[in-house]
Structure 1
Amino acid sequence: MKKKNNKLVKIFAGLLAICIIGAASGYFWINSWGAAYNEKDTTTKVVEIPTGSSPGDIGTILEKEGIIANGTKFKYFSKIKGFDSKFLAGNYSVSPSMTMEEICNIIASGKISSSTFTIPEGYNIKQIGKALEDNGYVTQKEFLDAATNETFEYDFLKDAVAGENHLEGYLYPDTYEIPSGANAKDIIKIFLDNFQLKFKKEFYAKAEKKGKTINEIMTIASIIEREARKENERKTISSVIYNRLEAGMPLQMCSTIQYLLGSQKEMLSYDDLAIESPYNTYKNQGLPPGPIGAPGIKSIEAALNPEKTNYLYFVVSPKLDGSHNFSSDYEKFEKDKEAYNKAYEEQYNK
């Protein structure tokens, strides 16, 4: 009886040893699959994982992009490791030097690859497009084509101008996280979503109370943004705009001429002031058709809350520090302008 029991124990022990050896072999076998494709190649590549991709689909994508050696092995590795139901769509930065487990963790994290992009306050849509091109996102042409031809459904755009300037002023100046691989329409939507967030509900009510459309408020704000150099002057400049509109005077804002020229000039010529355009506020009364750039929140608030003044004119101060001298009568304005011209000549034309 003892011999029989000993025999059974030996058989059981043998089977157990086989199982342990098999499991260990399987463990090392699976982990050998998960080794990095090329440990020395640390170059990162952004790969797109579409919505609904299976582990097999992802393996095929990674193999095609040269990130792993075998897509089928990735499929089984991810399932055995419990990743198969955790993968999330998006654009991810991965490298051939990463192990399969590292790649799985990245794709399961949902932390998509992105980079930061900043729109400075006052930038117009062409400048934004050029900056996007310079930073390798999309070309300026792709961006401007999308801005002109794609449809964007937002309440604040209902009375915006049509055509190529439709989105001018509404691409909110801020620092953004742009997902790798985003196309022009995707990027524009990110900017517009942020504007929708920043343009508070109370702003709509204030605009209505002032008898202004959102487009008119944004146009005023964009002029303030381009004219103001000192924070404490925004609401004062806003008051000049409102006062001149109420008096039926042309705004005569240099910033609108600079917008037409497409580049900044230190001194405008009489020919510049004679350009035929609805944006020329020297030749036309009232506001231009739409914004001339992207105003920040301070300029938007100034457009909604102008200071109460009787000022009709302003000119750069002879201190040449970015501040302005304001006046309510033309004679004082002429004297202020003469003082500025003299200071400018002395400073720059020695």
Structure 2
Amino acid sequence: MTTDEKNAKKASIREKMLEHQSEARVVRKIVLIISILLLLFIVFIGGGGYLYIQSALKPVDSKSKSQKMVEIPIGSSVTGIAQTLEKNGVIKNAKVFKYYVKLKNEGGFMAGEYQLSPSMDVPEIVSRLKTGKVLAKASFKIAIPEGKQLKEIAAIMAEATKQNEEDVFNKLNDKEFIKELMAKYPDVLSDEIMSGSIKYKLEGYLFPATYPFYKPNPSVEEMVFAMLDKTRTVLADYAEESNDKKLSVHQLLTMASLVEEEATGKADRKKIASVFYNRMKKGMPLQTDPTVLYAQGKHKEKVLYKDLEVSSPYNTYQHTGLPPGPIANAGKVSIEAALEPEETDYYYFLATAEGEVIFTKTLEEHNKEKAKHISNKK
């Protein structure tokens, strides 16, 4: 190859390299422009979305002096409440209201007739719905105490509404009604309640509280909706902890019901829960008297040895682990004890006549305390 040919080849290579560099610069410019445009688009959309949400949370009309009567029916979902508020013109956007409630983890909305104004913002409306600041006074209230069983709750409901007790109890156990409730409250009522060994499907699920009703003679359905709404609200506060401990709602309420039934006013419920969990870890039967009485369908002050022979999956003297389901309703203190038992090495406890609860580590210690404080209990 001659010198001229070599120079020509070098010039060609140099020219191609310059072309590639020029193309690369163009490509980089295009990428930069596209990136800037995308960034501007994201900022525009994000900013627009943020402003839209902020606007939706503000009053429909901050200068309005009008008041609107808005009825929140018993058993209303957040979606239903949001739609009702938008329909009545007191919020701008039902979806934004719903997402705000979920983001803020709000809940516990109370049924009733509310006097609301378009001049209220969403946080103010949420606060009013939670505190139950209604225009109308409750027609009457139903108080469901802690530690009550389904039969007792049915009696309370029947007396308060002047209905037949047997009819109320039958409704609480109606298969079609139970299916309807499971569809309405899937996060509370799972397939676990459908086990054939469960005595009453709703046992332990009707939360102990005082329930106001704003219309005379509410139906059984309306009363149950109010109670399950409360159960859902309460359990939502413990959902994360329940998941961490791998406890289903059914298991949680079952354990809480045992604590509730065993506890006295002076009892340390977290220690009682610790005894149950310790025994379960060792494969020991729980041997808790209230499950025997529940199996028999009786209320007795003393459990006799012959009572322990009752054949039932609820008899925790004969079967290890938790019973098939709750044996009563449980309050927050017992639910928290079931979730956060104290760390102990106790395996036994007994309640004295004075209501004190004595915890022991061994059967020998337990029997000594039993001899001191309990005479002929069984």
Pair 1:124 & 2:149 matched: yes
Q: Identity over the aligned pairs, expressed in percent?
A: 34
Deviates more, 1:133-142 or 1:299-308: 133-142
Residue 16 of structure 1: aligned partner: none
Instruction: Return the offset for 1:338.
Output: 0.9
Pair 1:182 & 2:225 matched: no
Instruction: Return the offset for 1:195.
Output: 1.0
Equivalent residue for 1:192, pick from 223, 228, 245:
228
Residue 133 of structure 1: aligned partner: 158
Write the mapping of 1:334-345 to structure 2, written as runs, cut at 5 A: 334-342=367-375
Pair 1:161 & 2:196 matched: no
Q: Which stretches in structure 1 are left out of the alignment for 5+ residues?
A: 1-88, 91-108, 346-350
Q: 1:344 to 1:248 in 2, by over 3 A?
A: closer
The one-letter amino acid of 1:240's match is V
Residue 148 of structure 1: aligned partner: 173
Instruction: Return the offset for 1:302.
Output: 0.5
Alpha-carbon distance in 1 for matches of 2:285, 2:226? 36
Write the mapping of 1:22-101 to structure 2, written as runs, cut at 5 A: none
The one-letter amino acid of 1:286's match is G
1:160–1:167 contact (8 Å) kept in structure 2: no
Q: Which stretches in structure 2 are left out of the alignment for 5+ residues?
A: 1-111, 114-133
The one-letter amino acid of 1:224's match is V
The one-letter amino acid of 1:120's match is P
2:267–2:355 contact (8 Å) kept in structure 1: no
Alpha-carbon distance in 2 for matches of 1:290, 1:169? 8
Q: For 1:325, what is the secondary structure of its paired residue?
A: strand
1:119–1:174 contact (8 Å) kept in structure 2: yes
Instruction: Return the offset for 1:231.
Output: 5.0
The alignment covers a number of residue pairs equal to 237
Instruction: Return the offset for 1:164.
Output: 5.6
Residue 246 of structure 2: aligned partner: 211
Q: For 2:211, what is the secondary structure of its paired residue?
A: strand
Normalized against structure 1, the TM-score is what?
Answer: 0.63
The one-letter amino acid of 2:345's match is N
Task: Deviation per CA, 1:247-278: give whole Å up to 9, x if none.
Answer: 10110001111222333212111221111111
Task: Deviation per CA, 1:75-132: give whole Å up to 9, x if none.
Answer: xxxxxxxxxxxxxx99xxxxxxxxxxxxxxxxxx973762011111000110001122
Q: 1:344 to 1:313 in 2, by over 3 A?
A: closer
Instruction: Return the offset for 1:141.
Output: 2.4
Alpha-carbon distance in 1 for matches of 2:365, 2:138? 57
Q: What's the RMSD between the two structures over aligned residues? A: 2.5
The one-letter amino acid of 1:184's match is V
Instruction: Return the offset for 1:291.
Output: 0.4
Pair 1:268 & 2:303 matched: yes
Instruction: Return the offset for 1:213.
Output: 1.3
Write the mapping of 1:230-245 to structure 2, written as runs, cut at 5 A: 230=265, 233-245=268-280
Residue 329 of structure 2: aligned partner: 294
Alpha-carbon distance in 1 for matches of 2:293, 2:358? 21
The one-letter amino acid of 2:268's match is E
Task: Deviation per CA, 1:195-217: give whole Å up to 9, x if none.
Answer: 1112234x122122222211111
Normalized against structure 2, the TM-score is what?
Answer: 0.58
Q: 1:334 to 1:232 in 2, by over 3 A?
A: closer
Residue 222 of structure 1: aligned partner: 257
2:267–2:356 contact (8 Å) kept in structure 1: no
